A and B are shown apart, each in its own frame.
Chain A
Amino acid sequence: MTALAWAAPAAVLFAGLAFAPAARAQFGDILRKAREKTEKAQQIQKALAPLTVEEEREVGREVAAKLVAHFHLYKNDALTRYVNMVGATVAAQAERQEIPYRFAVLDSDSINAFSAPGGYIFVTRGAIALCEDEAELAGVLAHEVGHVAGRHVLKIVERDKAMRTGMEESKAHMPGSAYLHRMSQGILVKMIDQGLAPSDEFDADQRGIKYAHGSGYPADGLTRFLVRLDQATQQGGKSFWTRTHPPVSERNENIRKTITTQHWEDADRPKLADRFTRETKSVKTKA
């Protein structure tokens, strides 16, 4: 009994001395891991947060710079002004008015139109040449405005953690930074090589016809353009629209359904073919 009475405190003392460094080490390790996990969680939270309007503009500016570097702008002040007039008219109908919409013509025979986050919208010389009237051009531009208003590209960016890696670095937001280069590169591959989700294309169509109709154009301008685009690409015309977008027949069927349901037949609305021909003479001549 005496032996046990002596042994018990000795064992406790011995155990305390033996365990102290190990326990401290293990506790420190747990704390360090917890701290690291918290930091990682904060980084993930930041990386998945919606982009601010300023961040959106930075990314869009980089995408726009790459498009300009690749295609070059079509330098024609009168045409640029005209495209901006049509674009501004349809963009005034867009849900998102916190960003400015800007329009420019790319010097390319291909039949394409692009929209970058932040409201940078481009249409190629080839696409303008394919249009028959202003209502068609309005339909094309309105579709692109629809992508921006629907935040279609932004949603991809916001979902992709890897793309946003490095955004917290101090120089990340400088034009040409590795972060903006990677981000804009990813957007261009998605837009042009892989295509956006079909649901986003249908959504841009729906928004587009709504903006066109809302601004006084016939709602079917985009439909008529798509039919001609389909024919042009079958005859060898270059366009990523037919390659990466849902089939024209499917898109037009959806558009027609909306026009019928909404009673947007608009047979008496101006297509403005004469003004279009006059304003786009330089493109038609070059094409």
Chain B
Amino acid sequence: MKLRFQFILLAVLGALLASVAVPSAPAQDQPQPYQQQEQQKSEKDQKKKKKGGFFSGLKAVAGQSSEQQGETATAGTKGVGEGEEIGNAQPSSADRAAVTAMENYSLPQGDVKKFQTDGKLKAGK
């Protein structure tokens, strides 16, 4: 009687433990549910990106994927705004040099002072 009880108890415990342990085991080796969640999340993010946002219509020309190039082409058929057209411009080295020259442009302080005095303007705050 005692032996039978012991056996039944162990069998029940064993079955219980097995049922709990088995489903969690694959989580260690194959984190499929997590990957699926991540995949679903990234799909959602992509849908969100496609939906809107100030800059959603923009796709970088440089280093873009073929998918991105396709979207740019679609935008082109819909009519590209001037801002987007300017944004797509690829500055040449001469353009960049012109910006550098703009950065380095300086006015002699004496000339600025004379300009302001001649115009009866105020220098500084």
Which of A's residues lie within 8 Å of B, judged by CB? Answer: 2-4, 6-7, 10-11, 14-15, 18-19, 21-22, 24-26, 28-29, 33, 61, 64-70, 73, 80-81, 84-85, 88-89, 92-93, 100, 102, 104, 120, 134, 156, 160, 162-163, 175-178, 181-182, 184-194, 214-217, 240, 269-270, 272, 275
Contact = CB atoms under 8 A, between A and B. Distances in A.
B15 to A, nearest CB: 11
B24 interface: yes
Given A66-B89, A160-B53, A7 B98 contact: no
Interface in B43-101: 49, 53-55, 57-58, 60-64, 81-92, 95-96, 98-99
Contact of B24 (A7, A22, A61): A22
| Cβ-closest 9 pairs across A and B | A192-B83, A25-B28, A185-B87, A193-B81, A65-B91, A193-B83, A216-B121, A186-B55, A22-B24
Nearest to A122: B102
Contact of B25 (A22, A64, A93, A163): A22
Contact of A186 (B34, B58, B81, B107): B58
A89 B115 contact: yes
Nearest to A119: B103
Interface of B: 2-3, 5-6, 9-10, 13-14, 17-18, 20-21, 24-25, 27-28, 31, 34, 49, 53-55, 57-58, 60-64, 81-92, 95-96, 98-99, 102-103, 105, 107, 111-112, 115-116, 118-125
Given A178-B63, A193-B84, 10 more contacts: A3-B2, A7-B9, A21-B25, A22-B21, A65-B91, A102-B103, A190-B55, A216-B116, A216-B121, A275-B119
Contacts, number: 187
A215 B121 CA distance: 6
A217 B24 CA distance: 76
Given A162-B55, A272-B119, A26 B102 contact: no
A80 B6 contact: no
Contacts of B2: 2-3
9 contacts: A14-B10, A21-B21, A89-B121, A176-B62, A176-B90, A182-B60, A214-B125, A216-B120, A240-B82
A142 to B, nearest CB: 12
